[in-house]
């Protein structure tokens, strides 16, 4: 078996994580993906916001942070950290979001596979830091964790919508 480099392994985990996210997205058919739920005083993000936020996160953490290509998807900024679901009429169409989700993912994996050797240890371009680590690697690792967290939210939203 050929020796794989670190970038290949990270990309395999990114792909594997996205496959499970896509599985949960199939469970959203027939429900109002803009609907939000409240528990106590806390309002939860809608499935639509989470999908858009996952696209934003891969663009930000995997492309912008590592000097990848700029795909020029203007609506992403509406779904960054700390944002709320815009009014429905200001949201991009679902088909466009799903296309962007795939386009960003493919571009990110293709780009990350070009990072070899010490390039993963270089400082990221968004100044993200975990502890003392400011590497491109830490951005990639965070993106993997981040998607898993939001995937869990999607699974709960699906149950809250009554889908098994």
pLDDT tens, 129-154? 999 999 999 999 999 999 999 999 99
pLDDT value of residue 3 = 77
Convert the pLDDT of each residue in 19-48 to its tens digit: 999 999 999 999 999 999 999 999 999 999
- Give residue 133's domain range: 6-160
* Beta carbons of 61 and 140 less than 8 angstroms apart: yes
Classify residue 1: in a domain, yes or no. no
Does a structural domain hold residue 62?
yes
Q: Is residue 78 part of a domain?
A: yes
Q: Is residue 36 part of a domain?
A: yes
What is the per-residue pLDDT for 1?
Answer: 65
- From residue 154, give the alpha-carbon distance in Å to each of 22, 27, 135: 10, 9, 29
Instruction: Output the DSSP codes for 47-76.
Output: HHHHHHHHHHHIIIIIIITTT------GGG
Q: What is the CATH number of the domain that holds 114?
A: 1.20.120.450
The domain total for the chain is 1
């Amino acid at each position: 078996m050929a020796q794989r480099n670190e970038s290949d392994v990270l990309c395999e985990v990114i792909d594997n994580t996205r496959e499970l996210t896509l599985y949960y997205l199939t469970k959203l058919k027939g429900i109002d993906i803009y609907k939000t739920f409240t528990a106590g005083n806390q309002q939860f993000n809608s499935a639509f916001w989470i999908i858009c936020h996952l696209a934003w996160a891969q663009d930000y953490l995997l492309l912008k942070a590592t000097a990848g290509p700029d795909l020029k998807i203007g609506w992403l900024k509406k779904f960054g950290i700390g944002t709320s679901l815009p009014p429905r009429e200001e949201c991009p169409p679902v088909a466009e979001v799903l296309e962007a989700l795939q386009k960003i993912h493919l571009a990110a994996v293709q780009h990350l596979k070009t990072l070899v050797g010490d390039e993963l240890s270089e400082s990221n371009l968004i100044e993200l830091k975990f502890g003392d680590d400011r590497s491109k690697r830490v951005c990639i690792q965070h993106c993997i964790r981040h998607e898993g967290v939001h995937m869990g939210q999607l699974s709960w939203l699906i149950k809250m919508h009554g889908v098994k």
